[in-house]
Amino acid sequence: MTSRHARRSRIPFGLLLIALGVTVGAIAYLVDRADEGGAGPPTIPEARVSPDAKAGGPSGSPSPSPDPKAKLVIHGTGDVSLDPSYIPAFQTNGYGWAWSGLHGLFERDDLTIINHECPSTDVVAPLDKTFVFRCDPNALDEAREAGVDVANLANNHGFDQGPQGLLDSIRNIRRAGIVPVGAGTSQEKADAPAYIEVKGWKVAVVGVGEVTDPDSQVAVGDEIGTSVGHDFPRALAAIREAEANADLVIVVIHWGVELDTQPREYQVDEAHRMIDAGADMIFGSHAHRLQPMDTYQGKPVFYGLGNFVWPRFSAEGSVTAVAQVVVRPDGEISGHLLPATIVSDGHPVLN
């Protein structure tokens, strides 16, 4: 059985009684698991990921998967906005417009991670800042249907509608069957890795938000907020925790300087330190420009994935790409960029 599709198996008549006993036990187990899921959906049809611990919540002590590992194909994107006031084309074309130029790429892979650059909430409590976003929670169902699995909230717009807007966004993302990461009701929960089981791998995703707007959005102690902020040791601690409890560690980081086309020296240093701490790949965002991919110790670093589902403000800002990482069963990792272009507002198309 793969994480994407399950096959039914027939039980010989001679083993019927044994099968019935196993089925009863399995049903009891699934009921217990559904009770643990809280307000989220108990079952996601054809779900490609299943969180081992709640995203944004305590990570527990999961162990690496004992199942045989298959090849993984993982995709990451830059900034995604599902705000109909920022991208009016959604009001005309629907939210499927955001994903229709990808030809099912995210549906065919094993894990897709986006940087979700706004709170998906009906809470209206805008902060006093230049750019304030609010995404439509109804757009999340289209994102999930298109293959989005994980949404990073550790960025400078996740808190745009205040703490209650952020909490509502986390709930709405979970309701849609997407795993939120990089935010929570406390520092511990905001920084906690999200654990996902897929094709024999236990994958940890760590959200890191170094760009803060305002500084008070970062979770400290028991405060609601986004992860890490300018306290880089917090990022390293989360990565070490993830590495100790998972087979594969993905870091999604919002960092750098807007309009830069190359990473700053400090970003290169931080990338190396994150990989030394246990990261296996890094998906970066925030610059609103596509930046190069590099490798360190055989691990791919995508310094800046640019805009993705975003308005087409300029030709430079509309050049983008999808990060693609292939993980072999023996652990060998390779990465490259799939070129794409934002051909019109909110509509990236693979080249």
Q: How many CA atoms lie within 13 A of 14 on its CB side?
A: 0
CATH architecture of the domain formed by 49-350 = 4-Layer Sandwich (3.60)
Q: Which residue has the tokens 């298109």?
A: 146
Q: What is the pLDDT of residue 57?
A: 36
Q: What is the pLDDT of residue 67?
A: 79
User: Over the stretch 226-242, which tens digit does the pLDDT of each residue have?
Assistant: 999 999 999 999 999 99
| pLDDT digits (tens), the chain, 351 positions | 333 333 333 334 343 333 334 343 443 333 333 333 333 333 223 334 444 333 333 333 456 667 799 999 999 999 999 999 999 999 999 999 999 999 999 999 999 999 999 999 999 999 999 999 999 999 999 999 999 999 999 999 999 999 999 999 999 999 999 999 999 999 999 999 999 999 999 999 999 999 999 989 999 999 999 999 999 999 999 999 999 999 999 999 999 999 999 999 999 999 999 999 999 999 999 999 999 999 999 999 999 999 999 999 999 999 999 999 999 999 999 999 999 999 999 999 999
The CA distances from residue 80 to 130, 139, 253, 292, in Å, are 18, 12, 14, 19
What is the Cα–Cα distance from 336 to 323, expressed in whole angstroms?
A: 6
Q: Which residues contact 104 (CB under 8 A, 6 or more apart)?
A: 147
Q: What is the pLDDT of residue 63?
A: 64
Cα dihedral 153, 140, 167, 278 in deg (nearest 10): -30
